[in-house]
């Protein structure tokens, strides 16, 4: 095949019709289950102000410093959203959603953009579904958010997952911990990887996330943040664990789990799958009690998560989980001659108004070729029409699977297929 002249950008992929069916199946499932959790969908623009993302996520995070797609137009700076927590909080503040009363329980599904080096499970345009509960500091909110996340995977049929849990405390706890971590790393500063050396001053917690070989011994021996939590943070963390246990949600505590954005406080979690390879995080999230205020709203606690749709797809493939059904059409009208073709075209709306999917040949093909095409389209029935049928008002209805035919009036056909 000839090389195409135009292709998608690196790390951006087309989702073709056969796959879209699987996406729609998953999206429908997520929406249905979100309803059960009393979550409401929110949709925000694909582009946000650069300043929102920089402030929200943190200047020194990988996403902001290396991965955002941004451009300007006139005075305005645009960024393709790399995630939805900051945009949802922006929308919450801008639209005064607090005035609706109670905590806002929101969910979303949509595309995100990060200029990462593409690999399996990592794209530059990818999709997330997620939930954000804004306005509650109750550990019940943390646990409900986690329960929803895990519920979706269970419902799809992915049960072999590990929930990793940590608390990164409030800013004071974290400051104390940062100092302890730096004192621990300082004697071996020269042996740390270059990236970790860079993070040492400004973002030492991120060193714990390093995958570099040379950093591992110092990470393994590092102090753990949970030893530095304030009384309040510890109490919150203990409640989260207690409620998870009450719900029989298994978790592994990982005191080195730090997340990639600066907005996190208290609870942090990730859902890991052994079926994913190197990019093994299905989903991640946590509390961000200071973000609403950071973005200009009233002090408002919040918690949420986001999950990678592509990674969910990959896990389903690995586990041979079938998503939805193959494409089919109820009726393919096969016609012989011009008059029959005209008649066929006129019956399509009638079939459709009776809740049947219906199609016919668009290419003026022979009857034999039409039958072949009906097979290719996975038609359940063909309705075969020639001049005799038109005269008699009786048409051949062929059940394609059973290879059985009946001669029926149009009314009888519709009755039968409904």
Orientation of helix 85-94 relative to helix 50-57, angle to 10°: 110
CB of 71 to ligand HAM, least distance (A): 19
Orientation of helix 17-36 relative to helix 309-318, angle to 10°: 110
CB closer to ligand HAM, 297 vs 304: 304
- In angstroms, the CA 116 to CA 67 distance is 6
For 152, the 3-state DSSP assignment is helix
Q: Which two tokens stand for residue 165?
A: 């849990």
CB of 113 to ligand HAM, least distance (A): 9
- In angstroms, the CA 158 to CA 322 distance is 12
Interface residue list for ligand HAM (CB under 6 A): 83, 85, 114, 116, 121-123, 126, 128, 130, 132, 260, 281-286, 288, 304-308, 310-311
CB closer to ligand HAM, 126 vs 228: 126
CB of 281 to ligand HAM, least distance (A): 4
Contact present, 173 and 331 (Cβ < 8 Å): no
CB of 114 to ligand HAM, least distance (A): 5
CB of 74 to ligand HAM, least distance (A): 29
CB closer to ligand HAM, 288 vs 395: 288
CB of 294 to ligand HAM, least distance (A): 14
Contact present, 134 and 292 (Cβ < 8 Å): yes
Return the ∠ at Cα 209 (arms to 204 and 213), rounded to 5°: 105
CB of 168 to ligand HAM, least distance (A): 12
CB closer to ligand HAM, 308 vs 344: 308
Residues with Cβ within 8 Å of 123's Cβ and at least 6 positions away in sequence, in order, are 11, 12, 13, 116, 310
CB closer to ligand HAM, 260 vs 386: 260
CB closer to ligand HAM, 281 vs 408: 281
Which residue has the closest beta carbon to ligand HAM?
A: 308
**DSSP state letters, 107-142:** EEEEEEE--PPPBTTB-SEEEEEEEEEES---HHHH
- In angstroms, the CA 274 to CA 387 distance is 62
For 212, the 3-state DSSP assignment is coil
CB closer to ligand HAM, 22 vs 122: 122
For 374, the 3-state DSSP assignment is helix
Q: Which two tokens stand for residue 19?
A: 């796959």
Phi, psi at residue 2, to the nearest 5°?
-70, 150
CB closer to ligand HAM, 82 vs 344: 82
Largest CA distance in the chain: 96
Residues with Cβ within 8 Å of 355's Cβ and at least 6 positions away in sequence, in order, are 418
CB of 5 to ligand HAM, least distance (A): 27
CB closer to ligand HAM, 42 vs 307: 307
CB of 319 to ligand HAM, least distance (A): 16
């Amino acid at each position: 095949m000839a090389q195409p002249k135009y292709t998608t950008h690196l790390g951006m992929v087309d989702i073709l019709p056969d796959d879209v069916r699987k996406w729609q199946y998953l999206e429908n499932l997520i929406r249905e289950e979100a309803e059960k959790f009393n979550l409401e969908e929110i949709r925000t623009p694909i582009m946000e102000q650069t300043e929102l993302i920089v402030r929200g996520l943190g200047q020194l995070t990988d996403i902001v410093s290396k991965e955002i797609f941004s451009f300007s137009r006139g005075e305005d700076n645009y960024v393709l959203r790399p995630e939805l927590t900051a945009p949802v909080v922006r929308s919450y503040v801008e639209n005064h959603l607090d005035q609706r009363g109670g905590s806002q329980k929101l969910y979303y599904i949509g595309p995100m953009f990060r200029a990462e080096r593409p690999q399996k499970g990592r794209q530059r345009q990818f999709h997330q579904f997620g939930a954000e509960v804004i306005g509650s500091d109750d550990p019940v909110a943390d646990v409900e958010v986690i329960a929803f996340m895990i519920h979706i995977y269970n419902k799809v049929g992915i049960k072999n997952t590990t929930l990793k849990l940590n608390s990164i405390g409030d800013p004071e706890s974290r400051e104390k911990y940062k100092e302890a971590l730096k004192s621990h790393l300082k004697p071996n500063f020269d042996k740390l990887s270059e990236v970790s050396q860079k993070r040492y001053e400004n973002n030492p917690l991120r060193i714990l996330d390093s995958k570099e070989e040379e950093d591992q011994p110092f990470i393994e021996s590092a102090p753990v943040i949970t030893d530095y939590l304030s009384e309040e943070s510890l109490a919150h963390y203990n409640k989260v664990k207690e409620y998870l246990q009450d719900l029989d949600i298994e978790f592994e505590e990982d005191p080195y789990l730090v997340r990639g954005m600066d907005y996190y406080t208290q609870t942090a979690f990730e859902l890991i799958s052994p079926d994913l390879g190197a990019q093994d995080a299905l989903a991640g999230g946590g509390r961000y009690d200071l973000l609403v205020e950071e973005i200009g709203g009233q002090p408002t606690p919040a918690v949420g998560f986001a999950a990678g749709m592509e990674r969910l797809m990959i896990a389903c493939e690995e586990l041979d989980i079938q998503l939805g059904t193959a494409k089919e059409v109820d009726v393919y009208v096969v016609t012989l001659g011009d008059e029959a073709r005209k008649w066929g075209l006129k019956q399509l709306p009638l079939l459709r108004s009776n809740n049947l999917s219906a199609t016919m040949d668009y290419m003026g093909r022979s009857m034999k070729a039409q039958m072949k095409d009906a097979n290719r389209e996975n038609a359940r029935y063909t309705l075969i029409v020639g001049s005799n049928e038109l005269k008699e008002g009786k048409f051949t209805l062929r059940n394609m699977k059973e290879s059985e035919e009946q001669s029926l009036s149009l009314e009888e056909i519709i009755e039968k297929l409904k």
